[in-house]
Amino acid sequence: MDTHYPSEYTRGWVEFYYQKFQVNEYVLIPRFETEDLVRETIKMAENTPFDTLIDVGTGSGIIPISILTKVAIEQSFGLDISPKALEVAKTNAENIGVKNIEFLISDLLSIFLSPTSVTFGKNILITANLPYIKDGDWENMSEDTQHEPKIALFGGSETGFELYEKLFIQIPDFLEKHRPKRLTILTEMGEDQEEIATSTLESLTQKLEENGRKINFSFFADCFGIRRFMKIEIL
């Protein structure tokens, strides 16, 4: 018997933001800190309603499903590159009773950059908790974490931030194609990635300002005081 096999996988569920979510070896086990991202997003959505929610790298669907249990957003999507993960997300939405969300296979935002008949609202919210651990850190992970899917943990060989860099590269094309009045992005990152995130977002700022957009970004801390979240507003 493997004593390091995660108990969450053994029992098949985990509690997250007051709900019971199914998990298995195809999805990451939700971390407590990610609830802070959900809380901040809900607070924003209560004060400034959104027409469309897109969760990128949705995994088991915990982020969009949790948000939709508290606020009404007319149009919602959960995107992931893993079909097996999306099966779990669909089950969780059904079990919790969230109906107004569609789960789609996509490499980040790619599905909405190609020809599509989808029409979004004017105020769009994107959330993401993408893999942000550097590939070479595998041996430093705890033995129970090593049972979780690598595709949900590791973000690249150089910094671990590569998937976010790829996502932000997609943003100008997304804006050009869908032309929202406002785009808000909230994401989780590694605790040591604020510097590279700032550099990446400064490059994005320059590109968007050349196209007549305004952008503001900031970082905020989790419940332990660790600055691990990004908030980006694009007008």
SS (H, E, C) 23-38: CCCCCCCCCCCHHHHH
Which regions of the chain does DSSP assign to beta strands (E)?
Answer: 13-16, 19-22, 52-56, 75-80, 102-105, 123-128, 133-134, 154-156, 182-188, 215-221, 227-234
pLDDT band at 58 (very low <50, low <70, confident <90, very high): very high
Residue 206, both tokens: 């320059």
Domains and CATH numbers, the chain: 7-234 (3.40.50.150)
pLDDT band at 186 (very low <50, low <70, confident <90, very high): very high
- Mean pLDDT in residue range 18-45: 96
- Mean pLDDT in residue range 25-29: 94
Partnered with residue 232 across adjacent β-strands are 185, 217
Q: What integer pLDDT is reported at residue 133 of this predicted model?
A: 75
Question: How large is the angle between the packed helices 194-210 and 162-178, nearest 10 degrees?
Answer: 20
Tokens 């935002």 appear where? 109
Q: What integer pLDDT is reported at residue 128 of this predicted model?
A: 98
- Residues 210-225 have pLDDT tens digits of 999 999 999 999 999 9
Please check the confidence at residue 118 and state whether its pLDDT lies above 60: yes
Residues 229, 235: Cα–Cα separation, whole Å: 20
Residues 65, 67: Cα–Cα separation, whole Å: 5
- The residues, any chain, with a CB within 8 Å of residue 183's CB and separated by 6 or more, are 124, 126, 171, 174, 175, 232, 233, 234
Please check the confidence at residue 153 and state whether its pLDDT lies above 80: no
